[in-house]
Structures are given as C-alpha cells and as structure tokens.
Amino acid sequence: MLTIHTADEGGAVAVEGARVVGVGTPAEVLERFPGARVRSWPGVLGPSRIHEGPLPDAPSPRERVHAVLKTGATAVLAAHVDSPELRAAADRNGVEILVGPRPTAVVAGDRADLAVFDKAGTCIATVCAGRLLHRLR
C-alpha cells in the first residue's frame, strides 16, 4: 500500500512496501501520488537513527528490540546483538544489524526507515522498512 508520511516540520515521504518512492514537500508528494493513504505527524520527520550502544535492558529479546524502535532507531550494531534470540528478534522486526555506523538519509529507492520526533526529542513514530512499528500517540 502506498503511504505518504508528512510532519508539521519537514517534508513528506511516499513509501510503497519497504521502499521510499518519493521525497519532497507535502504539496509535491501529494500531487505526485494522488489517492495514497496519508499519515500526518506532529513534529519533525526524517531518517531513522542507528542505535550504537548496548540494547536497552528488558525482560525479553523482543522487548529489547522494541525499546530500540521507541528511540527512533531501525538499525543496531552487530557488536551489541550478543545472542541468537536477540538477532532473531531484530530480524523479525526488520531491524538492520550493521557492522558499523553509516550515514542516514531518506532517499527515493532506499529502504523506508523513518522517524518523527517532537520538539523535546521524543520519538513519536518509527517506520522500519516501510512498516509503522512504533507510535507514541
């Protein structure tokens, strides 16, 4: 399903499946993709983060991965994914496991990894490989 994500601050991103298919101002993206489902968020829309430290403590591997998603991150460093269960939980959610950090950007054709943050820096929403996996409100 084609979805356009917009935010109060920042542009708009059109997502189809796991990929970004368009980036621009809300007016440009809405005109280019008429009939798409639109999700409007309060805050700033941009690329998701990479969680570079140990994963947060939680009772289960699934909850540890979800705690990462709640920070706006859709990738973790392999050095901190220290068990097969944790790797499986990351894989099930589409969270990338990286050898090292890399720049993040929202680019047409790339994987749709987005995050929305409010003025205080709290993550409002995390889109991982095109799927909304965390929503605060």
pLDDT (tens digit, 9 = 90+) per residue, 70-105? 999 999 999 999 899 999 999 999 999 999 999 999
Give 103's Cβ-side CA count (13 Å radius).
4
Residue 14 phi, psi (nearest 5): -95, 130
Tell me: pLDDT of 26 over 90: yes
Question: Is the backbone of residue 131 left (phi > 0), alpha (psi -120 to 50) or beta?
Answer: beta
pLDDT for res 1: 85
pTM score? 0.94
From CA 41, how far away is CA 104, in angstroms rounded? Answer: 20
From CA 132, how far away is CA 37, in angstroms rounded? Answer: 13
Tell me: pLDDT of 137 over 80: no
Tell me: pLDDT of 10 over 80: no
Percent of the chain having pLDDT more than 70?
Answer: 99
Number of residues written out for the chain:
137
List, in order of start, the domains of the chain with CATH numbers. Answer: 2-47+105-135 (2.30.40.10), 49-98 (no CATH)
- On average, the pLDDT of the chain sits at 96
Percent of the chain having pLDDT more than 90?
Answer: 94
pLDDT for res 16: 98
From CA 15, how far away is CA 127, in angstroms rounded? Answer: 10
pLDDT for res 9: 83
Distances (CA, A) of 12 to 56, 86, 116: 30, 33, 11
